[in-house]
Amino acid sequence: MTAAAIAASGLGKDFGAVRALDRLDLEVREAEFFGFLGPNGAGKTTTVHLLATLLAPSRGGARVAGYDVARDGLAVRRRIGLVFQETTLDRDLTVEENLRFAARLWDLPRRVAEPRIDRLLSQFGLDGRRREPVRALSGGLRRALDIARGILHEPRVLFLDEPTAGLDPRARRSLWQLIRALRESTGLTVFLTTHYVEEAEPCDRVAILDGGRLAALGAPADLKGEAGVGSLEEVFLARTGHPFADGGAA
Amino acid sequence: MGARAVYGIVVREWLRFLRQRGRVLSSLARPFVWLIFAGAGFAAVFAGRDAIDYRVYMAPGLLGMVVMFGALLAALSTVTDRDAGVLRMVLVAPIRRSTIAIGKALAATLLGTVQTLAVAAVLLPLVGLRPTWDGALLALAGIVLSSLATGSLGVLLAAGMRSIENFAGVMNFVVFPMLFLSGALYPIGHLGPVLHVLTYLNPLAYGVDLLKHALLAPWTGAGYGGELRVALDVVALVGFAVVGLAGATPLLAREGGVTRAAFRERA
């Protein structure tokens, strides 16, 4: 029995008068593939930023990889990888320069970083492009590089915030293959946020968020079984009383 | 802890600088444009033209100008980092906010120093200034310290700015006043009392003064060398660097810097 990878209790965040996240109680297990599903504006990104110590909670707290997000920000950040919704790569630097920059920020010595960079680039199909500037890469390859950057320091928990936003279907498919292979080879805990319902289907468990509140939590098959419906979209409707696309009460 | 991250930030800025040919060329050409156009006009009306050639008098100020543009613009890249998202990657790294500020300031120091030395190598022979060894060493110290001071204040400025749209404001209310109140173009002693007091708040004034001590020592008697004590210049420049770094650190940690844009998008 290992400790939970993520444990949030009563976690909440206000931006001025806007309650972005109400009170979230959540446990994500070690090596779990956890989906965080909700319409735009449900509070998904706010949650990720709270767990990644980029925001300070307005109430409640959370532990990530065993450390308190409010007290041990550095320890948490050392053990997590975060792939943001929008790319954070430096477009003017080459593929390998971006990874070296990240390696130095995460305090990886050269002898550790270089073999990892080589391995990730070949694993992610970027080997032939390593000396090209990032601006020359397609959206799909940039996303792959974002993820390579996110796992370079071998985190215990990887946050993927809407990783497929803006990608065409083929790039999306190859990204999912990449993430699946990565999970199988490393046993990494993956916390995925998405507003594409079908992307949450392969998750071990999903939490459905609506207007800053948790509407449902469980394995996709169980949730569908309980509600007697065939899709997570219908689960959402059954639990919240309004269709998925109308969400965004915040 | 943090040294490798600082090194990484400096290397990144250096690589970006080398790839921006236009920025390199314009920063190297700018002082010569001033030398030709401002130098030609002011030389004729310069009060001290019997004592010193105006183009010689201008040389330390022009080097100060290169420092300011080089270091300040490098530091202001923090704003474009925020727009491009790169700052988020830096903020999610397991490093302290002060490490980010120090990395950015040292990168600005390096870029300011390198550009100024490149200009000095051409400018000083061109105007016929041949510094002594002591003078050259003092000038080097002045260039490094001025780059550090303006770079650190630039990081503070950038950390407080929402977007690069404020850039014109920075030029009007920071860069030009700093330049004209620095003694780069005329001795500070000639300014009226209000403006004279303002020069004490101007980091570039101490940098230019230090460069005058280093390069215009023979003309000190005629009133065209350094006007303040060398020790005061050094202490002031270090002080500005400390203030800039101390002020920038909490601003970088402000949560709006990372997520408010994302929040605004969905609100």
Q: What's the pLDDT tens digit per position in B77-118?
A: 888 888 888 998 999 999 999 999 999 999 999 999 999 999
Rounded CA separation A228/A216 (Å): 14
- B41's tokens: 């006009």
- A18 by DSSP, 3-state: which? strand
- Lowest average pLDDT, out of A67-76, B128-137, B165-174, goes to B165-174
- Interface probe for B, chosen from A93, A101, A134 (most Cβ of B below 10 Å), is A101
- A27's tokens: 């446990």
Residue numbers in A near B88 (CB within 8 A): 54, 84, 88
Q: What is the pLDDT of residue A246?
A: 53
Mean pLDDT over A146-175 rounds to 90
B interface with A, Cβ–Cβ below 8 Å: 1, 4-5, 7-9, 11-12, 15-16, 19-20, 84-86, 88-96, 255, 258-260, 262-263, 266-267
What pLDDT band is residue A164 in, cutting at 50, 70 and 90? Answer: confident
- Regarding the domain delimited by A6-240, which CATH topology (the fold level of the hierarchy) does it fall under? Rossmann fold (3.40.50)
pLDDT at residue B246 tops 50: yes
Q: Are A161 and A193 in contact (CB under 8 A)?
A: yes
**Number of residues that make up chain A:** 250
Rounded CA separation A3/A27 (Å): 10
Question: In this structure, what are the phi and psi dihedrals at residue A81, rounded to the nearest 5 degrees?
Answer: -115, 145
Rounded CA separation B213/B205 (Å): 12
Q: What does the H/E/C string look like for A23-77?
A: EEEEEECCCCEEEEECCCCCCHHHHHHHHCCCCCCCEEEEEECCEECCCCHHHHH
Q: Which tens digit of pLDDT belongs to each residue from A140-155? A: 899 999 999 999 999 9
Residue numbers in A near B102 (CB within 8 A): none
pLDDT at residue B267 tops 70: no
Closest by Cβ to A90, choosing from B86, B258, B262: B86
Q: What does the H/E/C string look like for B84-123?
A: HCHHHHHHCCCCCHHHHHHHHHHHHHHHHHHHHHHHHHHH
pLDDT at residue B160 tops 70: yes
Beta bridge partners of A15: A18
Give residue A247's Cα distance to chain centre. 21
pLDDT at residue A247 tops 70: no
pLDDT at residue A86 tops 90: no
Residue type, A66: G
The share of chain A scoring above pLDDT 90, in percent, equals 67
Burial pattern B72-92, b for ≥16 Cβ within 10 A else e, equals bbbbbbbbebbebbbbbbbbb
Q: What is the pLDDT of residue B259?
A: 46
Q: What is the pLDDT of residue B264?
A: 46
Q: What is the pLDDT of residue B253?
A: 75
Question: How near does any CA of chain B get to the CA of A111, in Å?
Answer: 13
Q: How many CB atoms lie within 10 A of CB B33?
A: 11
Cα-based distances in Å from A103 to A97, A195, A202, A239, B89: 10, 31, 31, 44, 12
Burial (CB count <10 Å: 0-12, 13-18, 19+), residue B110 = buried
**Number of residues that make up chain B:** 267
Q: How many CB atoms lie within 10 A of CB A16?
A: 8
Cα-based distances in Å from B81 to A91, B102, B257: 11, 16, 11
Domain range summary for chain B, segments of one domain joined by +: 3-266
Q: Which tens digit of pLDDT belongs to each residue from A233-242? A: 889 888 888 8
Q: What is the pLDDT of residue B256?
A: 53
- B36's tokens: 């030709």
Greater pLDDT, A59 or A186: A59
pLDDT at residue A2 tops 80: no
pLDDT at residue A206 tops 70: yes
Closest by Cβ to B259, choosing from A40, A55, A87: A55
ipTM over 0.85: yes
> Degrees (nearest 5) of the Cα angle B18, A148, B104?
40
Q: What is the pLDDT of residue B92?
A: 92
A82/B contact by beta carbon, under 8 A: yes
Q: Which tens digit of pLDDT belongs to each residue from A45-84? A: 999 999 999 999 999 999 999 999 999 999 999 999 999 9
Closest by Cβ to B255, choosing from A54, A77, A100: A54
Question: How near does any CA of chain B get to the CA of A223, in Å?
Answer: 28
The share of chain B scoring above pLDDT 90, in percent, equals 60
